[in-house]
Amino acid sequence: MTAGAALDRLAAGEVGAVIAELDIGRAWLVDPVSGREGAGELVVRDGMIEAITWLEGDEAAGVDPGGIVVAPGFVDLHAHLREPGDEDAETIATGLAAAAHGGFTTVCAMPDTTPALDEPGVLARVRAAALASGSPIELLAHGAVTVGRAGEQLAALGELADAGVVGFTDDDAPIAMAAILRNALAYAGALGLPIVDHAEDRALTAGAEAHDGYVATVLGLRGWPAAAEESAVARDLAVLADVVRDVPGARLHLTHLSTAGALELVRRAKAAGLPVTCDVTPHHVALTDAWLAGSRSWAWDAGADPWTDGSAVAAPYDPGLRVNPPLRPAADAAACLAALVDGTADAVATDHAPHTSVDTDVEFGAAAPGISGLETALGLLLAAVDAGRLPLARVVAALTAGPGAILGGRSRRRSFGFVEGAPADLVVFDRSDRWTVTPEALASKGARSPLIGRELPGRVLLTVADGRLAFEDA
Amino acid sequence: MSVAEPMAAAGASASEPIVAPGTPEVDAAPETQSVPWSHRHLLDVDRLTADEIDLVMRTTDAMREVLARPIAKVPALRGRNVTILFYEASTRTRVSFEVAAKNLSADVVNIAAATSSVTKGESLVDTVRTIEALGADMLVMRHPASGAPYLAAEIFGGSVLNGGDGWHAHPTQALLDLYTIREHLPPVPAAPGEPSPALLAGRKVVILGDLLHSRVARSNIWTLTAAGADLWLCGPSTLLRGFEAWASRGAAGRRFTVTSDIDAALRDADVVMALRIQRERMASGLLPSLREYAARYGLTRTRLAAARPDVVVMHPGPMNEGVEIAPDVAAGPNSVISGQVTNGVAVRMALLYLLAGTRT
Amino acid sequence: MSGREIMTADEIRRATVRISHEIVEKQAGTAGLALVGIQRRGVPLAQRIAESIDEHEGVRLPVGALDITFYRDDLSMIAQQPVVKGTDLPFDLNGLTIVLVDDVLYTGRTIRAAMDALVDFGRPQAIRLAVLVDRGHRELPIRADHVGKNVPTSREEVVRVHLAETDGTDGVEIERAPAGYGAPTVEAVG
């Protein structure tokens, strides 16, 4: 039976309900673990993947990657779910609903809550909220590196590790003191967990609003130099190189890298064997700082000058474009894309950062930085695939096996591919369909996105997490 | 605009009739006499065409004539409400707008944000909505955040006129600066049979000082290059940050020069515009001291000697005499600074008039 | 010309000369007179009348140009601001008899605006009106003292005056208004 017909059988399903039977026939399957993709069929029974069948020859005719695609459920290493402390912007319940809508079945929450997630009690609150939401999405969490994320004193890393965090970070603050970073890498390395750093030298970004370049100069916005990210990454790598001599298990993950310079440093560090991984966001791949001037071209289609190339179709200074790190010029976006292609970037992470309109319906300089990215991540990446800039298999890998490897066994999921007999974690999406991003269409509460009004390729039809229904397209 | 189109050489001096019948640029308007001005808001000068800038110049001529009358008032904006909302302290510009609106017989509400509920934390969006509900047809605003007028324009039903936003733009200042230059520099005559050259073709114009923080400079870059000037920006390198990249791309493709060498910049200049340097720039580490700035970049009589003898000296005000400009230069024969103030009222009258015509 | 010609260049010339004689006759001389042409075409007409008076009286009357744009009563109704052409009154109005000169008199609103503008400059002793064409359909109680030609028209018609100084040739034509013509213009305001 075709995927469409199989999905119809679920019409009456409730979120959280175990999938009794799901027959996906004649769809394009992508398995990032085995590396195999092609026409296939997949059967789920009582929440478990019962059978995966790859179709060959005549049977495979008429099935192509431009139609219905089935992938393992996506993994987001970096999402701000705002609860506890800022529930007006997002709650864990609405955040997980947004994740499911975006095809994510595993989400890692960031510890910049109020109170910060720097001791197991807060983690317990977060888990309780996830349970109460009834969502089957797997919610993991990072612990803070320092107490209160204040950057001065190590948090209870051991207790947090025992409680089950998947790593440590002070995001959205950098680990400013090199000595703290060094100690954290060593300590966490012995616990088998990575330090995740938001690489930013704040001395260079005080008051900064937009990437320090041509667009910011003309728009009169305070510049955010690429050097602020590059120098922080260089420092982090140097400290890591030092630490691994004593603690071979130390691991560093650099999140939301946005500059060509920083990605090149990671590329060389990996070639030299350093245990570093990194992720890029969908918005740093697809958008550029020209959007601040009113351009709405994808990064790979960007012209040379939004004031003369005709790409400025929207009003400038959209506060929804303010983000940390800032949107960069097309060359940096191209570097993020290239990093995904060659594997320098191990994963795509959304850095989902919702805000209420109080913080975003303001002048650009006062806008809270952040893009609600869980629901638009797939669409942005598929736009790159449609443009021939990124293979579909790489997108799936960057959203599943890539981040899965970084989670290193801390997820309930034993595999990030398709495994017969394992609970079903999968996403079914239709590449031949498109959807328009509107506040109503978004499940995220602080539905702030510069993509509102925009049509994106690919529509998520079904998300199954841990064998249970997470999202079904109406 | 991608090409600096020739601007009508409408450089009529004050002693000639402002318009002579039959002059091509006067009768350029089509028979229905509707105007090529279609902008509901004036937030920036980057998208003004050469024709539109010329229209502003000609309309300002008419407003200058009104200001010279015994009763310097016309009923053109009678029954309209102009609300002036300034989030930054500024007496001269705020009052200039108020005088301009009143000269057009508009009703004026003048809000200085420090005394309003803005200090109680009311957002810009809420303030604009309140102003609209109270009947404002036009909103003149100044705000410390670049881009703030665009936010206002999205929600305000009437016209928004940007009186200065952050570092970004100061459209009325750039237009009054151009008007002032036009008044003092006769246009280069056209060769027989050739169309009139651009208004500032062949003229070297220098903007000197703190470019980085200057919205006056950014807006002047657009208008001066559109008028065909050979534009130079000069200042200490820390205050030129980012402008080299812009200069090499050009303003809509029109290139200009950026340099820290003040002598090269001033050599043979026709116009020098000095910008205010602020004490805060030292505190933020951009400059060693104001004394050093004055010594290396201050516009003194000696430095000015490198320019043309009839060089026009300008300053958007308020001035730090003795820092960016020497007192004898500010008061000297080349200075047109006081004229800039008069022209400011006329230009603002012209813009209020043109914007008022676009209400739906 | 695309419409029907109702005055030739010669007829315009004769009417102008006649009007110039009438103006002097009404004033019983040239003392205390000044001409003010209403932009645009009233201005060259005023110049021609002044030249004619100079020829037959040997006196060059002062001539000014008046732009009534800012005084129009329909600014809030039209789609875009009209172009301002400029006012130049290089003499003191106080105590003078001002003869306003315009090409076409229609609804009378232009003349009302012109009078409002004039009194902002001073207090004339008297204001008179000379027009080349009076096409009727007054909406205000305004009448011309001197008329070149009375032309009965319907509201669907447009009267166009061409003068060498502004249009290259002399002539007056009348034609049906093109479809969609409805927005008030200076000609329609008359």
- Chain B residues whose CB is inside 8 A of the C78 CB are 34, 357
Q: Indicate whether B30 pLDDT > 70.
A: no
- Chain B residues whose CB is inside 8 A of the A358 CB are 123
- Give the chain B residue whose CA is nearest to the CA of A308: B252
Distance from CA of C18 to the nearest CA of B (A): 23
pLDDT tens digits in sequence order for chain A, 474 residues long: 556 656 665 655 789 999 989 999 899 999 999 999 999 999 999 999 999 999 998 888 889 899 999 999 999 999 999 999 999 999 999 999 999 999 999 999 999 999 999 999 999 999 999 999 999 999 999 999 999 999 999 999 999 999 999 999 999 999 999 999 999 999 999 999 999 999 999 999 999 999 999 999 999 999 999 999 999 999 999 999 999 999 999 999 999 999 999 999 999 999 999 999 999 999 999 999 999 999 999 999 999 899 999 889 999 999 999 999 999 999 999 999 999 999 999 999 999 999 988 777 899 999 999 999 999 999 999 999 999 999 999 999 999 999 999 998 899 999 999 999 999 999 999 999 999 999 999 999 987 799 999 999 999 999 999 999 999 997
For A75-407, CATH number? 3.20.20.140
User: In sequence order, which residues have a C-beta less than 8 Å from that of residue A406 and are 6 or more positions away?
Assistant: A77, A167, A194, A253, A277, A346, A347
For A3-69+423-472, CATH number? 2.30.40.10
Give, in order, the Cα–Cα distances in Å from A1 to each of A9, A11, A23, A122, A425. Answer: 11, 16, 7, 46, 21
CB-closest option in B21, B65, B358 to C40? B21
Residue B216 amino acid letter: V
Spatial distance between the Cα atoms of C155 and B121, rounded to a whole number of angstroms? 58
Which domains are present in chain C?
4-189 (3.40.50.2020)
The answer to whether residues A450 and A320 touch, using CB atoms and an 8 Å cutoff, is yes
CB-closest option in B33, B35, B104 to C185? B33
Query: Among residues A171, A236, A332, A351, which one is catalytic?
Result: A351
Domain boundaries, chain A: 3-69+423-472, 75-407
Burial class (CB in 10 A: 0-12, 13-18, 19+), B253: middle
Q: Indicate whether B28 pLDDT > 50.
A: no
Q: Quick one: tokens of C55?
A: 């020829």
Q: What is the pLDDT of residues B41-78, one digit of tens each?
A: 999 999 898 889 999 999 999 999 999 998 899 999 99
User: What pLDDT shows up at residue B24?
Assistant: 28
Across chain A, mean pLDDT equals 94
Whether A342 contacts chain B with CB within 8 A: no
DSSP B169-190: B-HHHHHHHHHHHHHHSPPPPP
**What torsion, rounded to 10 degrees, do the Cα atoms A212, A215, A219, A225 define?**
0
Distance from CA of B75 to the nearest CA of C (A): 6
Q: Indicate whether B96 pLDDT > 90.
A: yes
Model confidence at B29, in pLDDT bands (50, 70, 90)?
very low
Whether B358 contacts chain C with CB within 8 A: yes
User: What pLDDT shows up at residue A12?
Assistant: 55
Across chain C, mean pLDDT equals 89
Q: Quick one: tokens of B80?
A: 């309209």
Strand partners, A348: A280
- Chain A residues whose CB is inside 8 A of the B123 CB are 358, 361-362
Burial class (CB in 10 A: 0-12, 13-18, 19+), A114: exposed
Best residue of B146, B212, B221, B249 to probe chain A, by most A CBs closer than 10 Å: B146
User: What pLDDT shows up at residue C78?
Assistant: 65
Across chain B, mean pLDDT equals 86
Domain boundaries, chain B: 37-170+342-356, 173-335
- Class assignment of domain B173-335? alpha beta
Please compute the mean of the pLDDT values over residues B303-326 and round it to a whole number. Answer: 94
Q: Indicate whether C187 pLDDT > 60.
A: no
User: What pLDDT shows up at residue B280?
Assistant: 75
User: In sequence order, which residues have a C-beta less than 8 Å from that of residue C157 and are 6 or more positions away?
Assistant: C174, C175, C176, C177
User: In sequence order, which residues have a C-beta less than 8 Å from that of residue B167 and are 6 or more positions away?
Assistant: A220, A221, A222, B146, B212, B213, B214, B215, B218
User: What pLDDT shows up at residue B359?
Assistant: 63
Best residue of A317, A322, A361 to probe chain B, by most B CBs closer than 10 Å: A317
Q: What is the pLDDT of residues C66-106, one digit of tens each?
A: 999 899 877 766 666 777 788 999 999 999 999 999 999 99
- Chain B residues whose CB is inside 8 A of the C75 CB are 76, 356-357
- Percent helix, percent strand, percent coil in chain A, to nearest 5: 35, 20, 45
Of A400, A474, A380, A472, the closest CA to residue A100 belongs to A472
Q: What is the CA radius of gyration of chain A?
A: 21
Question: Quick check: A213 and B245 CB within 8 A?
Answer: yes
Question: Quick check: B246 and A214 CB within 8 A?
Answer: yes
Question: Quick check: C75 and B76 CB within 8 A?
Answer: yes
Of C25, C29, C31, C65, the closest CA to residue C47 belongs to C65
The answer to whether residues A381 and A282 touch, using CB atoms and an 8 Å cutoff, is yes
Model confidence at C163, in pLDDT bands (50, 70, 90)?
very high
CB pairs under 8 A between B and C: 97
Largest Cα span, chain C: 49
Spatial distance between the Cα atoms of B254 and B43, rounded to a whole number of angstroms? 21
The answer to whether residues C30 and C61 touch, using CB atoms and an 8 Å cutoff, is yes
For B37-170+342-356, CATH number? 3.40.50.1370
Distance from CA of B264 to the nearest CA of A (A): 24
- Strand positions, DSSP E, A46-161: 48-54, 68-72, 74-79, 104-109, 138-141
Best residue of C73, C84, C116, C161 to probe chain B, by most B CBs closer than 10 Å: C84
The answer to whether residues B124 and B144 touch, using CB atoms and an 8 Å cutoff, is no
Q: Is B148 helix (H, G, I), strand (E, B) or coil?
A: helix
Question: Quick check: C80 and B22 CB within 8 A?
Answer: no
Residue A342 designated active-site? no
Q: Indicate whether B205 pLDDT > 80.
A: yes
Of A465, A300, A311, A266, the closest CA to residue A381 belongs to A300
Spatial distance between the Cα atoms of A424 and A240, rounded to a whole number of angstroms? 37
User: What pLDDT shows up at residue B346?
Assistant: 97
Q: pTM of the entire structure?
A: 0.89
Of A325, A151, A329, the closest CA to residue A230 belongs to A325
Q: Indicate whether B19 pLDDT > 50.
A: no
Return phi, psi of residue A182, to 5°. Answer: -60, -50
Q: What is the pLDDT of residues B251-279, one digit of tens each?
A: 999 999 999 999 999 999 999 999 999 77
- Chain B residues whose CB is inside 8 A of the A209 CB are 146
Whether B72 contacts chain C with CB within 8 A: no
Question: Quick check: B243 and A304 CB within 8 A?
Answer: no
DSSP-derived pairing of the beta strands A276-280 and A347-348: parallel
Residue entry with tokens 């393992």: A72
Subunits with 3+ Cβ pairs within 8 Å of B are A, C
Give, in order, the Cα–Cα distances in Å from C182 to each of B32, B83, C156, C160, C189. Answer: 11, 33, 9, 16, 11
Q: Quick one: tokens of B269?
A: 């200049």
- Give the chain B residue whose CA is nearest to the CA of A292: B147
Please compute the mean of the pLDDT values over residues B130-149 and round it to a whole number. Answer: 96
Do B173-335 and B37-170+342-356 have the same topology in CATH? yes
